[in-house]
Amino acid sequence: MAQSFKLPDLGEGIHEGEVIAVLVSVGDEVKEGDLIIEVETDKAAVEIPSPFTGKVREIRVKPDDVVTVGQVLMTFGDGEEAEPGPAEKPAEPKTERVYPPSAGRKQEPVPASPATRRLARELGVDLRQVQPTGPGGRVTGQDVRSFAEKAAAPEVKPVVAVKSGKAALSVTAEAPELPDFSKWGPVESIPLRSIRKTTARQMGLAWSQIPHAVSQDMADITKLESFRQKHKGNIQGKGGKLTLIVFVLKAVVTALKTFPYFNSTLDKAAGEIILKRYYHLGVAVDTDNGLMVPVIRDVDRKSIEEISLELKELVQKARDRKVSLEEMQGGTFTITNAGALGGGQFIPIINYPQVAILGMGAAGWQPVVVENEKKEPEIVPRLMMPMVVCIDHRVLDGSDAIRFLKTVVNALEDPEELLMTMI
């Protein structure tokens, strides 16, 4: 019996991917669970295991092909039996069948009424990307609106269904046409793909949707650094890496618990702020392939040691492109460490639909004026780290930003206090 292996649903909003490598060849015996194909989606590279045990009969894709969810990638079987042709199928309508979006099947027009097609043009939606819900894979007007909604809010589903028309407001205006740059000199066009494409979309979305406000401060991490130096060998021995960001993660969780609105999402459609009672913190990782943000789950329930181990592993996976989609989803707040590359002051962009992001600059020795025991001002060298928090001013105010950042700074300045708040 021949079996078709179709690109499975890869999770939230992922409709298509690019084949990076086909890991089997025709004739290979494959066991269920063996990895058979590697596909790069907008968010990550995924290795997909075989759902069948059998012989690979036919491979229908090759590297660089763009494949859609539901598309047949390869077939398995003993090779004696052909896949049932369409003509042999019964004539009755197949209402239960789920149709994939039409992407990749360029030659076929997408079934949709003229009014739906016009709506798609108005909302700037590519019908081929839309998951159809109508009979026989027909795209409905509602499908188009939902798709436009989802594009505007990729991670959070609105609690209340958005009424028609609202979607039009959330689509950003078209940028004016670009000039022909080649008339001033040679140019090269690089297609916007995978992670770069996602980053472009996500940052454009965040910048256009979120009114950003910024608060900056300096944290004196002299004590923390000596604490870190003292224990890092111990953690290293266990396979982890005790970096500064590990402490920042813990300090942030403390601040998030004190200021719960920093751990929220604005649901414009429902007119609600959704507070999240879990603390999944994303850490921005610079990789050869671009920016990736793996998420450490339940940071509040993990020890410094656990986080050190997990973070090291996640960063490595991100750099190896082995991080799974699930490992990059569900974040409630993000930390980005420009200091790791020596960066000083900077202003990050909030990771939509989160409402705040914390940035760390490079720590350095600075002359700091402090009061000595005699209450006299005195210049002493201190290890200072620039910190910045960007907030969604719709949800949070500048005063919140200052208080939040002070809480983080205070926790970092006094490791003992940090330890106390962790309990």
In angstroms, give the least distance from the CB of 61 to another protein. 19
Cβ closest to another protein, residue 99 vs residue 207: 99
For residue 353, how many other CB atoms are within 10 A of its CB?
A: 21
d(CA 243, CA 241): 6
In angstroms, give the least distance from the CB of 58 to another protein. 16
Window of 27-35, 51-59, 115-123, 317-325 that interacts with another protein by CB under 8 A: 115-123
In angstroms, give the least distance from the CB of 117 to another protein. 5
Asked if 141 touches another protein (CB under 8 A), the answer is no
Known active-site residue 393: yes
Asked if 109 touches another protein (CB under 8 A), the answer is yes
Residue with tokens 């390869």: 74
Asked if 89 touches another protein (CB under 8 A), the answer is yes
Asked if 85 touches another protein (CB under 8 A), the answer is yes
d(CA 263, CA 184): 48
- Supply 153's token pair: 């809010």
CB 358 within 8 A of CB 408: yes
Cβ closest to another protein, residue 89 vs residue 183: 89
Burial 376-402 (b: 16+ CB within 10 A, else e): eeeeeebbbbbbbbbbbbebbeeebbe
Identify the residue among 13, 104, 111, 141 touching another protein (CB under 8 A): 111
Cβ closest to another protein, residue 115 vs residue 187: 115
Window of 11-19, 114-122, 151-159, 186-194 that interacts with another protein by CB under 8 A: 114-122
Identify the residue among 91, 173, 341, 379 touching another protein (CB under 8 A): 91
Identify the residue among 13, 104, 134, 204 touching another protein (CB under 8 A): 134
In angstroms, give the least distance from the CB of 17 to another protein. 24
SS3 label, residue 5: strand
- Supply 38's token pair: 């590697």
Q: Would you list the DSSP string of 330-344?
A: --SEEEEEGGGGT--
- Supply 135's token pair: 């009979």
For the chain, the maximum distance between any two Cα atoms, rounded to a whole number of angstroms, is 95
Asked if 86 touches another protein (CB under 8 A), the answer is yes
For residue 278, how many other CB atoms are within 10 A of its CB?
A: 12
Asked if 361 touches another protein (CB under 8 A), the answer is no
Window of 91-99, 289-297, 336-344, 372-380 that interacts with another protein by CB under 8 A: 91-99
Cβ closest to another protein, residue 136 vs residue 381: 136
Number of residues that bind another protein (CB under 8 A): 24
CB 358 within 8 A of CB 387: yes
d(CA 401, CA 79): 64
Asked if 136 touches another protein (CB under 8 A), the answer is yes
Asked if 137 touches another protein (CB under 8 A), the answer is yes
Helices (H), ranges, 302-386? 304-319
Asked if 6 touches another protein (CB under 8 A), the answer is no
Note the Cα 139 to chain centre separation in Å.
27
d(CA 259, CA 109): 51
Window of 131-139, 235-243, 264-272, 401-409 that interacts with another protein by CB under 8 A: 131-139
Asked if 93 touches another protein (CB under 8 A), the answer is yes
Cβ closest to another protein, residue 109 vs residue 239: 109
149: nearest Cα among 174, 119, 193: 119
Cβ closest to another protein, residue 138 vs residue 393: 138
307-326 residues near another protein, rule: CB under 8 A: none
d(CA 31, CA 403): 56
What amino acid is encoded at 415 in this protein? P
Asked if 112 touches another protein (CB under 8 A), the answer is yes
Q: Which residues participate in catalysis according to the annotation?
A: 393
For binding to another protein (CB under 8 A), which residues are involved?
85-87, 89, 91-93, 107, 109, 111-114, 117-118, 121-122, 124, 134-139
